[in-house]
């Protein structure tokens, strides 16, 4: 697919989304890409190139982006969101970006693109988590409001290409803001099909939080004991199963079967593990809701990364604390659409029907030659089908610059976002709170 040598500056806070996006762009499009992350990740598989900006300019943008990290005392992303006409970059660097970069792509969190609001460059945002991720726990109150206002302004200007990489976050964005985004599915960082390997001893592991034993110890203890009592199978955490220091979070272990216990409804570690051809046993939405209600398992489900956030929760929306309604929202998670997985509604009586773990173990021994490749092929087909619409969305944003529509619009006031075209609202309690905060404040938008 010709793209006339697009030049993209990719800004990300995590290695997983950065690897994924760079792999996709380099695989499908003819382009030049500079990758810039908060941290210099050792497992960043895509080389961090310096082709679009000079070393000093790249270092300057890196320093500014680093302030958007979780513990920074001077978060320039937040300042760019709130302060009108604020520009954290020098004139020389801004000029270099405007001249040498066709589009800035931000992923995790998307709000870091606020740094480029006053730079005449098209913007693409690919939400790899909730659209207001890290805003509500770091900056409660108007954090979501000012960020939503900026998104709507960029969309109305034709400057923004908006993407999501999974169905849950697409639903979450549409439910809260009434905004439709283009699907850009995950591909993982693997650029070639996994090869068939000789069957190994079967080892069950929890997927895919390395620190699960510390963060969800009660869940690990309870489920491990249950599985051991029912089937005599030991389930390890990824730290316990780790054998080498290199490779992805899951490939560096001796795990062959993964019991999905998600800390997030979208995890690049699970995407990598699935694409590598491993067998997944996945709790049904009802069982996952039950685990979540008891153990606070899916910690990144609600704003602020709290498993349950009572002030934000309501009876009908995706942040609900109603366990009977929760399975509906959990069912949007991408892993429920993966083929070649085993979905279970209970871990009790594993020695019946015949034994789930015994059946899965036998299946796992037979599936390396076929499923190891078919799962990777499945994910590649998803991204190949998505490539044309992703390309068109990127081009539409780039036309904003190429056609000379580069006037930077004035920040929109608080009231306008609340009077927007969203056809769905958060729960009534949240709506009343927004009305109390709806007085326009020019300094709160950028």
pTM over 0.75: yes
Enclosing H/E stretch for 161: strand 160-164
User: pLDDT by residue (tens digit) across 318-354?
Assistant: 888 888 899 999 999 999 999 988 888 887 644 444 3
Please compute the mean of the pLDDT values over residues 105-118 and round it to a whole number: 88
CA distance linking residue 109 with residue 30, whole number of Å: 26
User: pLDDT by residue (tens digit) across 127-175?
Assistant: 988 888 777 656 656 777 888 899 999 999 999 999 999 999 999 999 9
Percent of the chain with pLDDT over 70: 70
Determine the pLDDT at residue 444: 37
Determine the pLDDT at residue 165: 92
Report the Cα–Cα distance between both ends of the chain, in Å, rounded.
36
Indicate the length of the chain as a whole number: 446
Determine the pLDDT at residue 443: 39
CA distance linking residue 262 with residue 169, whole number of Å: 15
> What DSSP string describes 199-232?
-----EEEES-TTHHHHTHHHHHHHHHHHHHHH-
Q: Is pLDDT larger for residue 211 or for residue 52?
A: 52
The answer on pLDDT for 56 being more than 70 is yes
CB atoms within 10 A of CB 168: 24
- In which band, very low, low, confident or very high, does the pLDDT at 414 lie, cut at 50, 70 and 90? very low
Determine the pLDDT at residue 266: 84
Enclosing H/E stretch for 427: none
Mean pLDDT of the chain: 77
Please compute the mean of the pLDDT values over residues 217-225 and round it to a whole number: 84
**Which among 423, 430, 418 has a CA at the least distance from the CA of 320?**
430
Q: Is pLDDT larger for residue 75 or for residue 428?
A: 75
The answer on pLDDT for 208 being more than 60 is yes
DSSP code at position 166? S
Determine the pLDDT at residue 96: 95
User: pLDDT by residue (tens digit) across 34-44?
Assistant: 877 655 444 44
The phi and psi torsions of 257 (rounded to 5 degrees) equal -130, 130
CB atoms within 10 A of CB 439: 10
Q: Which two tokens stand for residue 295?
A: 């153990």
Determine the pLDDT at residue 43: 47
User: pLDDT by residue (tens digit) across 384-401?
Assistant: 999 999 999 999 999 998
DSSP code at position 301? S
Determine the pLDDT at residue 221: 86
Determine the pLDDT at residue 240: 86
Determine the pLDDT at residue 212: 62
- In which band, very low, low, confident or very high, does the pLDDT at 89 lie, cut at 50, 70 and 90? very high
Determine the pLDDT at residue 252: 80
- In which band, very low, low, confident or very high, does the pLDDT at 246 lie, cut at 50, 70 and 90? low
The listed range with the strongest mean pLDDT (242-246, 311-315, 375-379) is 375-379
User: pLDDT by residue (tens digit) across 298-318?
Assistant: 878 877 666 676 655 566 888
* Residue carrying the six token digits 């490779």: 247
**Domain boundaries in the chain?**
6-184+384-444, 204-366
User: pLDDT by residue (tens digit) across 5-21?
Assistant: 789 998 887 777 888 88
Please compute the mean of the pLDDT values over residues 401-416 and round it to a whole number: 56
Determine the pLDDT at residue 343: 87
Would you say 177 and 422 are in contact if contact means Cβ atoms under 8 Å apart? yes
Please compute the mean of the pLDDT values over residues 113-129 and round it to a whole number: 92
Determine the pLDDT at residue 211: 59
Enclosing H/E stretch for 6: strand 6-12
Determine the pLDDT at residue 143: 74
Q: Which two tokens stand for residue 334?
A: 């991408």
The listed range with the strongest mean pLDDT (215-219, 240-244, 389-393) is 389-393
Determine the pLDDT at residue 192: 66
Cα within 13 Å of Cα(315), Cβ side: 2
DSSP code at position 57? H
Residue 408, preceding bond cis, omega within 30 degrees?
no
């Amino acid at each position: 697919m010709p793209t006339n040598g697009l030049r993209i500056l990719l800004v990300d806070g995590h290695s997983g989304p950065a690897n994924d996006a760079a792999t996709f762009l380099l695989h499908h499009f003819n382009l030049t890409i500079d990758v810039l992350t908060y941290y210099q990740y050792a497992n960043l598989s895509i080389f961090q190139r310096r082709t679009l900006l000079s070393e000093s300019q790249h270092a300057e943008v890196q320093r500014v982006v680093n302030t958007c990290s979780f513990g920074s005392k001077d978060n320039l992303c937040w300042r760019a969101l709130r302060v009108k006409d604020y520009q954290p970059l020098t004139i020389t660097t801004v000029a270099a970006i405007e001249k040498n970069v066709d589009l800035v792509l931000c992923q995790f969190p998307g709000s870091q693109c606020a740094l480029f609001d006053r730079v005449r460059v098209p913007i693409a945002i690919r939400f790899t988590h909730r659209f207001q991720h890290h805003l509500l726990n770091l900056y409660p109150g108007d954090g979501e409001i000012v960020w939503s206002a900026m998104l709507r302004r960029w969309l109305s200007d034709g400057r923004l290409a908006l993407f999501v990489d999974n169905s849950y976050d697409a639903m979450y964005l549409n439910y809260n803001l009434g905004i439709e985004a283009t699907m850009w599915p995950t591909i993982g960082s693997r650029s070639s099909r996994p090869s068939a390997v000789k069957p190994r001893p079967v080892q069950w592991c929890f997927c895919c939080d390395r620190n699960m034993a510390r963060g969800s110890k009660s869940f690990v203890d309870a489920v491990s004991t249950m599985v051991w009592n029912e089937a005599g199978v030991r389930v390890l955490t990824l730290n316990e199963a780790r054998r080498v220091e290199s490779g992805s979070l899951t490939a560096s272990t001796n795990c062959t079967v993964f019991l999905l216990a998600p800390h997030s409804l979208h995890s690049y570690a699970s995407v990598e593990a699935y694409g590598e051809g491993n067998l997944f046993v996945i709790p049904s939405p009802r069982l996952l809701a039950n685990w979540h209600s008891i153990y606070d398992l899916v910690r990144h489900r609600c704003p602020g990364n709290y498993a349950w956030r009572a002030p934000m929760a309501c009876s009908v929306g995706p942040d609900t604390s109603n366990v009977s309604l929760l399975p509906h929202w959990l069912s949007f998670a991408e892993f429920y659409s993966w083929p070649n997985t085993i979905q279970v509604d209970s871990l009790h009586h594993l020695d019946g029907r015949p034994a789930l773990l015994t059946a899965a173990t036998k299946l796992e021994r037979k599936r390396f030659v076929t499923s190891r490749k078919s799962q990777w092929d499945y994910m590649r087909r998803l991204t190949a089908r998505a490539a044309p619409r992703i390309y068109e969305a990127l081009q539409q944003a780039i036309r904003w610059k190429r056609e000379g529509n580069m006037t930077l619009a004035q920040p929109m006031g608080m009231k306008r976002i609340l009077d927007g075209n969203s056809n769905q609202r958060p729960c009534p309690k949240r709506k009343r709170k927004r009305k109390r905060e709806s007085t326009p404040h020019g300094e709160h938008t950028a």
